[in-house]
Amino acid sequence: MTLTDSPKLQQQPEQPLPDVTATVAAAREASAWWAGLGYAERRRRTLAWKNAIANGAEELAEIISRETGKPVGDATLEIMLTLGHLDWAAKHARKVLKRRGVPAGAVAFNQKATLGYEPYGVVAVIGPWNYPLYTPMGSVGYAIAAGNAVVFKPSELTPDTAVWLAEAWTRANPEQPVLQVVTGGGEVGGALIRAGVDKVGFTGSTATAKKVMAACAEQLTPLVAECGGKDAMIVAADANLDLATDFAVFGGFGNSGQTCVGVERVYVVESVRRQFLDLLVEKARTLAPGTDESASYGRMTHPAGGDVVREHVQDALTRGGTAVLGGVDSVKAPFVEPIVLTDVPEDADAVCVETFGPTLVVNGVADLDEAVEKANATDYGLGASIFTRNHKLGERLAARLKAGAVTIDSVLGFAGVAALPFGGVGGSGFGRVHGPDGLREFSRAKSMTVQRFKAPLDLLRIDRSERDMKIAKSMLHSLHGSRK
């Protein structure tokens, strides 16, 4: 079972559907105003919005904490990371997207060729609940910095975070609703996609991404899909095990395991497996989920989160896996205590399907080749991590991993590097947020040529001369052929 299969969310009281058509119409008007302001003014205003978010960070952290159940400290870090990205996007939009000259090449040397990036217009962003600010802002912030207006449909579990974010926009930039929020569940998301938006930025589960893509297909609306993961950590025999277990604890149990690029599987070389497990269990044993600031992490945000963990753990144990810390009884809804499993068959859900809870499967491998093969064996391909003191070897292994991002000797190392794009492969989605690719993701490339003078070799005409065709033929061979 995955969270998306769970009927639990549908038990929430019905809300009247928002008028997404009117919202998109207002966004359309705002997008023309915003695009017309130009790079410098948009930068100034995006940074003013950033200041407004920073100035209200304490209040926002409380809202995020209340909606998700994560400690306020975790929510504060989420805000800090988000603002780093927003700052980068605001300050780099011009450099990445402005029109620039490109070489025209030998045949078209009489043309001045330029490439520029233009905003799409209205971008719909549909977000998840686990990082209700950081994650959707990969699309919201970069789309706005690239000159678009945004209509944001947050998760039904975290509407207040989104509403606060849009109010911060209005405080900083009251003239036009460049950022608007519509709240509700999947039906509101579907209506928004069909309301004539120009691009969709979706973050959520792989199963929902397929429905979103089908809705986008109706009007050929382009989509960036940031989906789930089942990230593997690979531990080599020469790894610093203290470091590796620190990061396994952080990546596996932080945010109650509800991190798309959290660690769900560990492949550790057999010769150090026992030592790795002992250290990991010693550290994980000290963790306690709860509601106050001293808690290691909070509750399961999704009402069905504990059920998925229980099912995956039960299945792993039935199939011959061993629990070295916790087990089925660790699920004490809405909290789940840390669970460490080992010797779990590779086709069990706990190894192949996103669990999204504080569980780690630690399986032994004979060598690093086997580790890479197993890490690559799921449908997902979001992130991965490698622990080895030989960083050159780590980089060679990283190149072989099916993942959008790989960290060596840390986990989540890329999340705070605004210049690095983020996104998955395979079942983890396509397209990129963050970095220059993230700005281009929310822009259309527009090519332009200006004929500066008539070419001596005049090929762009119907009545080409025999002489010009003779020269063209000989150029074809001299430029592209192997004949001397």
Q: Which positions are annotated as active-site residues?
A: 226, 260
**Mask for 67-106, x = binds ligand NAD (CB under 6 A):** ----------------------------------------
Interaction between residue 142 and ligand NAD (CB under 6 A): no
Interaction between residue 345 and ligand NAD (CB under 6 A): no
Interaction between residue 297 and ligand NAD (CB under 6 A): no
Report the residue from 130, 139, 359, 388 that binds ligand NAD according to the rule CB under 6 A: 130
Report the residue from 56, 84, 116, 186 that binds ligand NAD according to the rule CB under 6 A: 186
Interaction between residue 227 and ligand NAD (CB under 6 A): yes
Interaction between residue 304 and ligand NAD (CB under 6 A): no
Report the residue from 24, 125, 126, 263 that binds ligand NAD according to the rule CB under 6 A: 126
Report the residue from 211, 374, 400, 444 that binds ligand NAD according to the rule CB under 6 A: 211
Q: How far is the CB of 406 from ligand NAD (least distance, A)?
A: 15
Interaction between residue 140 and ligand NAD (CB under 6 A): no
Interaction between residue 161 and ligand NAD (CB under 6 A): no
Q: How far is the CB of 163 from ligand NAD (least distance, A)?
A: 14
Which window, 60-68, 103-111, 203-211, 306-314, contacts ligand NAD (CB under 6 A)?
203-211
Helix-helix angle 20-55:186-193, to 10 degrees: 110
Report the residue from 173, 205, 256, 407 that binds ligand NAD according to the rule CB under 6 A: 205
Interaction between residue 190 and ligand NAD (CB under 6 A): yes
Q: Which residues bind ligand NAD (CB under 6 A)?
A: 3-4, 126-131, 135, 153, 155-156, 185-186, 189-190, 203-205, 208, 211-212, 215, 226-229, 260, 302, 354, 356, 382, 424
